[in-house]
Amino acid sequence: MSAELRFPFSDSRVSDQRPTGVEQSLAVARWCARQGWPVHPLAAGLKTPAANCRDCRTNPHPPTECPCIPAGRWCHGFHAATLDQDRIGNWWGSHPEYGIGVSCGPAGLVVIDIDAHNAEPPTRDRILPGIPIADHVDLTGLANGYHTLALLAALRGRPSPAEDETTLRVRTPSGGLHVWYRTRDSRRWQSSVGSGRGRALAWQVDIRAHGSYIVSPGTTTKHGTYIPVGQPRQPAALPVWLAQELERTGHLPAPHIPAPRPVPPRARQAVHAAGGGRDRVQSLLAAVLAPVEACGQVAEGAGFSDALNRAAFTVGGLVAAGRLPREEAEQVLTDAAVTARPGQTRRIEQIIRSGLTAGLEKPLHGGGRRS
């Protein structure tokens, strides 16, 4: 594959050398927006969103309540994604080193994210969730997402999306592949992460749709450039058979997605047990838990780990100040986190433990002041 591929938006070329100057990053961002794909900045050299402003980092709050986004700033990752060319000019004009993320849901995109990680394959029941693979089927050589997606396609008598020459495909620096499709209807296809037993298409095959973003073609990180493969520069319609597989594997939302929960009863009991300042502590707990609970409304990409870690750190400060019993604090955090991300108990326990330990070293006294 050539290291240089011409893009349709300008005469510039995308190579595996880091682009320099405002022109390259602006050209990519503007071109994506002209396709109807809302864009947001990625941190320089990384594939993660640019950091929130200082106030949003120190005072956690849901994206829907963030003053930065209406003001034209990029806090909260894909929640700030825009098609506004003036805003895009301001963002990448000021930070040409930033990469470009595309918010999949508003763009009407479903992207098949194929990984090629060097890892031991899982048990047969987790290779293609919901599809049993008999013992007589020889899986020798199966090593990554290319193989599992090809296996699924073969079972359905279809060609693998990795070989689909009718749609935009983008090679990733790690050797993976992003296969871009546009949705055929108004259904809100949901994202998935990894090879868990929940919403997964195949081992090492993720889905990027509502609730997540994808790195744009032409973006360069410290590991390399996301380079288009073949001729198409536009997504084809999502194949019907793939849509059926996504529906089978739970990539459509439940009929009703509840609003963020109020502060759990255990939190109210804990505040009462803490004694004085009941209203103030309860108000603080509600604010601290809100970003964690809000993560339950999207499949992924909402910064759950960071939100939970910050909440645990703050609650640890309340415990250290004697304003909340530790046992109750741990339960409050666990209740909120498990509701937002069911099936991730071990990960949740680790994040809470780490955040609380750090927070216990910095007591949080009245008015949110740390000693």
* pLDDT of res. 11: 34
Are residues 121 and 96 located together in one domain of the fold?
no
Residues of the chain where predicted confidence (pLDDT) is lower than 70 = 1-22, 193-198, 254-283, 296-302, 343, 365-371
* pLDDT of res. 329: 83
Are residues 98 and 142 located together in one domain of the fold?
no
Report percent pLDDT > 70 for the chain. Answer: 80
Residue 254 lies in a domain: no
* pLDDT of res. 221: 92
* pLDDT of res. 261: 42
* pLDDT of res. 173: 95
For the whole prediction, is pTM greater than 0.75?
Answer: no
* pLDDT of res. 21: 46
**Is the Cα dihedral 135, 137, 142, 145 positive or negative?**
negative
Are residues 284 and 356 located together in one domain of the fold?
yes
Buried b (16+ CB within 10 A) or exposed e, 312-340: bbbbbbbbbbebbeeebbbbbbbbbbebb
- For residue 234, give the 3-state DSSP assignment: coil
pLDDT in tens, 25-36: 899 999 999 999
Residues spanned by the domain of 317: 265-370
> What does 145-180 look like in DSSP terms, one character per residue?
HHHHHHHHHHHTT---GGG-TTS-EEE-TTS-EEEE
Domain of residue 190, CATH code: 3.30.2250
Are residues 88 and 181 located together in one domain of the fold?
no
Are residues 98 and 113 located together in one domain of the fold?
no
